Chains A and B, each alone.
Chain A
Amino acid sequence: MSIIREHTQATLSDAWRTINIDALQEDSSVNFDTATLHPPQPEISESEARQLQGQVRQLLRGGDAEGALRGCLEAPVYNGSELARETHLQTVIEVLQSIKASEMTPMLQRIYASPGGSECLDVLMKYLYKGMAASSSSSAGSAPRTPSRVTPQPTGFSQVGARPGAPTESTGAAMSVLLSWHEKVVEVAGLGCIGRVMTDWRRV
């Protein structure tokens, strides 16, 4: 009897219960690369993102806010460096901040009704959420900003990029812009739009 006890205590510990058998099985869901599920997106470099930023600014200066908004929503950075993504986010937010509150809804309705408009508003929603995440993390993370996030801001246009000097004011303002856009986008594109942002593999 004692032999049996020794034997079981030596070899039958509980450790096997914690073995993750899914990790050992080659075709299990744990070893599954979800990137294989969807077609690859073209990579967009930072310089391309900057180029687009320039074009969009030009449109803005020309007074074509809708064209500027469409322009940056039709070319989202799904695949690119962190810097390219950040640049594009700033482009989108610049456009959003330059549009008056009274113009939001009619403009969104026009975009939604146009071909490919639903897709555009989905992209806008993605950037709204990204903008909210960025501004809340920069206010929480306060002073020392990670090097990758310090982007040169030649014009000082952007507020969400947050100058380290006055983080609270500008992030608050940026957030309120994003929130009012969020409300308007949901009015036009419905809850389905939020669902799609959460579902979509293509992250901005």
Chain B
Amino acid sequence: MAAPEVHHLFHAPIADHSFSADRKTLAIARDTTVELYGRVGNAFKLKDELKGHDKTVTSIDIAPNSGRIVSCSQDRNALVWEPTPQGYKPTLVLLRINRAATFVRWSPSETKFAVGSGDRLIAVCYFEEENDWWVSKHLKKPIRSTVTAVAWHPNSVLLAAGSTDAHARVFSSFIKGVDARPEPTAWGERLPFNTVCGEYMNNSAGWIHSVAFSPSGDALAFAAHDSSITVVYPSAPEQPPKAVVSINTQLLPFMSLIWNGEDEIIAAGYDCEAFRFRGGIDGWQLTGALEAKGRPGLGDQREESALNMFRQMDLKGKVKDDTQLKTVHQNTITMIRPYETSGPSVRRFSSSGVDGRVVIWTV
């Protein structure tokens, strides 16, 4: 396994990160601004700051084809940043929410995006040509609490959302005139806006940190605060699912998860490193950490001379320097995203966290 590519950008938490399709631009949600980093050789250098929000930016996403950036913030606004020759031009989106916006993602079609919020709703936003602005429609029922994460189905109509009311839900976000009628799936056949196609929770009802559809869209995984991952396999519309597989782990909770093909899930969170799960409809298992421990350079066991030992004891009162975690990330990983994919499988993925690092991992 190739060594991970570590970019320590600054000493502040990264709320969210997103790479452009060519992987030359990296957008970072830092405090109230969106920072754009450009790749220079092996490093990322700050090249632009997008200022438009006046409270913490909670989430960002770069649309791979159009290059538009959408950001959302605790100031209850979402901005779409349009790339122009003179730099990025922001457009305000009318979200009509009165709590913080928490999470935003472009649909795969890039004609819509969904904003989760603390107002117990998801705003599905699309561009209205005749008025020349972004408008939103609300997915409201039956969400009972803050939406913490959203994820799109490959057909750009179904939307999964995780919430602090401990439910992961699948909604239809079909918007007439924007979406083509989707093919029927196991989640549903007729899908008017705000159809609830599924509502799931796990045994201990911990709140949901992350949701993700499998590459085919026929399974849904979510990570909850009870250190578990649950995978749902739907059977047919209006029917109970074929299987709901829940794996409780010995680890701390996961904040983010991605699928690698249909039989592998990568999740990372409060343990500051990524873990691999393998399985299928018959059961899932934690197969171990992705990070190889004791790599040269990290868990460095220096040759200790007696002189050095006593010097350390004198200086620090202890022999070993244990102020560093053995993992690459030195604090919670809050977001992982696919970085390089080939078909349904992920070759490389990127992670960002509270420690201000963005790390690119080889699977």
Contact = CB atoms under 8 A, between A and B. Distances in A.
Contact of A195 (B120, B167, B203, B225): B225
Interface in B139-178: 144-145, 165-167
Contacts, number: 68
Q: Which of A193, A199, A202 lies at the interface centre, i.e. has the most chain B CB atoms within 10 A of its CB?
A: A199
Interface in B56-85: none
Interface in A11-42: 27, 29, 32, 36-38
A134 interface: no
B206 A192 contact: no
Contacts of B249: 190, 192
Contacts of B201: 37-38
B248 A192 contact: yes
Interface of A: 27, 29, 32, 36-38, 118-119, 122, 189-193, 195-196, 199-202
A37 B205 contact: yes
A18 to B, nearest CB: 20
A38 B205 contact: yes
B206 A200 contact: yes
Nearest to B227: A192
Contact of A190 (B145, B165, B204, B250): B250
Interface in B293-328: none
Given A37-B144, A200-B205, A195 B166 contact: no
A27 B226 CA distance: 27
Interface in B183-204: 201, 203-204
Interface of B: 120, 144-145, 165-167, 201, 203-207, 224-228, 248-253
A190 B251 contact: yes
Given A32-B145, A37-B166, 12 more contacts: A37-B167, A38-B201, A189-B250, A190-B227, A192-B226, A192-B253, A195-B253, A199-B206, A199-B207, A199-B224, A200-B204, A200-B206
Contacts of B166: 37-38, 201
Contact residues of A: prevailing secondary structure:
helix
20 contacts: A27-B120, A37-B144, A37-B166, A37-B167, A38-B201, A118-B248, A119-B248, A122-B204, A122-B248, A190-B249, A191-B227, A191-B251, A192-B226, A195-B206, A195-B253, A196-B204, A199-B207, A200-B204, A200-B205, A202-B204
B303 to A, nearest CB: 33
A122 B203 CA distance: 11
Contacts of A191: 227, 250-252
B205 A193 contact: no
B165 A196 contact: no
Given A37-B144, A195-B225, A201 B250 contact: no
Contacts of A122: 204, 248
A32 B226 contact: no
B207 to A, nearest CB: 8
A192 B275 CA distance: 14
Contacts of A29: 120, 145
A41 to B, nearest CB: 11
B100 to A, nearest CB: 14
A200 B253 CA distance: 13
Nearest to B250: A190
B226 A200 contact: yes
Nearest to A34: B165
B251 A119 contact: no
A119 B203 contact: yes
A111 to B, nearest CB: 14
Nearest to A32: B144
A136 to B, nearest CB: 25
Nearest to A201: B205
A22 to B, nearest CB: 11
A201 B252 CA distance: 18
Contact of B226 (A36, A37, A195): A195
